[in-house]
Amino acid sequence: MRNIKLTISYDGTVYKGWQIQKNGRTVQEEVEKAIGKVFKKKHRVHGASRTDAGVHARAQVAHFKTSSAIPVGKIPLALNAVLPEDVAVTRAEEAPPDFHSRFDSRSKHYTYCILNSTDRDPFREKYSWRVPYRLDVPLMRKEACSLTGRRDFKSFQAADKRERTSVRKVFYIDINKRKSFLTIDIEADGFLYNMVRNIVGTLVEVGRAYFPPGSVRKILKNRDRTTAGPTAPAKGLFLVEVKY
């Protein structure tokens, strides 16, 4: 039995997330349908990250097991021929028999995109959150430092009974601005439900002076979701990399 590791890119706009659900299209469903067509048999595909509805991925990692002899180098072309245009397999490789895309990951890297402008931009706004307020980026960077390291992120967690602990280790948060375009990059050993989007929403509140300096440290200590900022829209979030 072969274990095939896939790297998948997708525009999550019309999907209800990665994971198969009873109601609504999901990326996992589309990938499994494509594999079924190519390999002439149903296969269960496991993803590294359960991205939410509307969230995108540049490099989601997934795996499935098969007894098929199709050369690994031909798998991306074959799958892309039957996948919808907003989902693409960018790489396929043989993985060790015990490799698991989710449980073996050491960290995940997400990027959140913000259009910091009062002007509308129909093209950029599809994949970013337009924030019309002036943002104090240096203060946002300073406050973000309180989020690095091993912390209890209960205040940034949406209700999710699947998680046994709200403690996660954030390796870094980088905030960069080029003209009116702002990106927030976060890498951690794992993320709680809506954690990245709740962090982004909180940092934006800091940047527009709705939250005073020192707020992020207090919010962490409170362990209360209601004390943090709003959840940033899903459309600005991208899964960029999964490390093993």
Distance (Å, rounded) from C-alpha 12 to C-alpha 20?
14
Instruction: Quote the Cα angle for 151-152-158, to 5°.
Output: 130
Distance CA 228, CA 222 (A): 9
174 is catalytic: no
Cα dist from 112 to 53, 164, 234, 243, whole Å: 15, 26, 9, 18
| Residue of 11, 52, 86, 98 with catalytic role | 52
Beta-strand relationship, 237-243 and 181-188: unpaired
- Cα 43 to Cα 31: distance, rounded to the nearest angstrom: 10
- Which of the residues are catalytic? 52
